[in-house]
Amino acid sequence: MTNSRGKGSVLVIGAGVSGLTSALVLKRQGFDVLVVADRFAPQVTSVVAGALWEWPSAVCGYHQDQTSLSRSKRWCATSYDIFADLAGNPNTGVFLRRATFYFNRPIEESRQQLEKMNELKKKVRGFVHDAGLIAANGINPELGLGDAYSHLAPMVDTDVYLSWLLAEVRQAGCGVLQRRIAGILQEQEETLRERFGVDVIVNCAGLGARELANEYVYPLRGALVRVRNDGKSMPRITEAHCVSVDESKHAHGFIFVVPRGRDRLVLGGLAEPDEWDLEIGLHNYERVRNMYNRCL
């Protein structure tokens, strides 16, 4: 089935950032699009993301798959410009703010970090490499940090952004349907295409690919603590601060402090592979408490 512009029709499964963005881009390219998901914001993972733009590999770990890394770099370069433009629209929940990344030793001593920095500085605005940023930003000297760089980075208030993005999808003319699709997609492709009247199915279900695509996928569980950042109980923080994971340390050893929107601050983080349990918090999980204390 094709529309008047000769394009086909697409079923997008999933309503997180990936699903809604895919739907919007496809619609703007002339496809008829239907988004089907069993959950929408705020009951999606995208809402609780740290949502700080980073150049791969990210602060929470290192990509091992070079194909994935190459794709991520292309996506990052494109998304930086797009989010920087969106920051000019207060309705999007996107801000362009300074972010400083700190390292345990001089960057020149790590080939991986040096290569990353040399790539990054060509892609961003306002790049500065200066170990003096550690003292200038009042970082606790007991952390023993040895180097730092800073640049302007998009930061997203995901509560606002997901609402704005869904509204854009609807306004563009995409269909939106709340329904659960279960089972392996390949085994029911023809049935789904006929049921929804589409030519192509795009799977943006995230961890749902474990069921829908029969693929081995696993979560990298994180934890964020949200605190007030309105300038009343403490000086308002308007820049992000991140201590990158070191190659010699476990992946959960990073720290980030990121302003969220206009009056919130998110503190993180954890990166725990293949952990599915969501019942963790300051009240019952020592690692979250330790993370919170490190950020403070």
Q: Are residues 24 and 36 in the same domain?
A: yes
Q: Are residues 112 and 19 in the same domain?
A: no
* In the chain, alpha helices (H): 17-28, 66-86, 111-120, 133-136, 158-172, 189-196, 209-212, 286-295
- Tell me how many domains the chain contains: 2
CATH code for the domain of 189 = 3.40.50.720
Cis peptide before 281 (omega within 30 of 0): no
Are 198 and 10 in contact, with CB atoms under 8 Å apart?
Answer: yes
Q: Are residues 146 and 275 in the same domain?
A: yes
Q: How many residues does the chain have?
A: 296
- Could you tell me the sign of the dihedral formed by the alpha carbons of 225, 230, 233, 237, in that order? positive
Q: How far apart are CA 169 and CA 156, in angstroms?
A: 18
CB atoms within 10 A of CB 254: 22
Supply the range of the domain harboring residue 164.
Answer: 9-45+160-212
Is 269 a domain residue? yes
Are 282 and 225 in contact, with CB atoms under 8 Å apart?
Answer: yes
Q: Are residues 265 and 167 in the same domain?
A: no
- Reduced to 3 states, what is the DSSP secondary structure of residue 265? strand
Q: Are residues 122 and 168 in the same domain?
A: no
Would you list the DSSP string of 195-215? HHT-SEEEE--GGGHHHHS--
Which of these, 138, 160, 170, lies nearest to 51 by C-alpha position?
A: 160
- Reduced to 3 states, what is the DSSP secondary structure of residue 76? helix
**Residue 236, H or E segment:** none
pLDDT tens, per residue, the chain with 296 residues:
556 555 899 999 999 999 999 999 999 999 999 999 999 999 898 888 889 999 986 655 555 566 778 888 899 999 999 999 999 999 999 999 999 999 999 999 999 899 999 999 999 999 999 999 999 999 989 888 999 999 999 999 999 999 999 999 999 999 999 999 999 999 999 999 999 999 999 999 988 888 898 888 888 888 888 999 999 988 899 999 998 765 444 444 578 899 999 999 999 877 788 888 888 887 777 877 777 676 66
Q: Half-sphere exposure of residue 2, counting CA atoms within 13 Å on the CB side?
A: 4
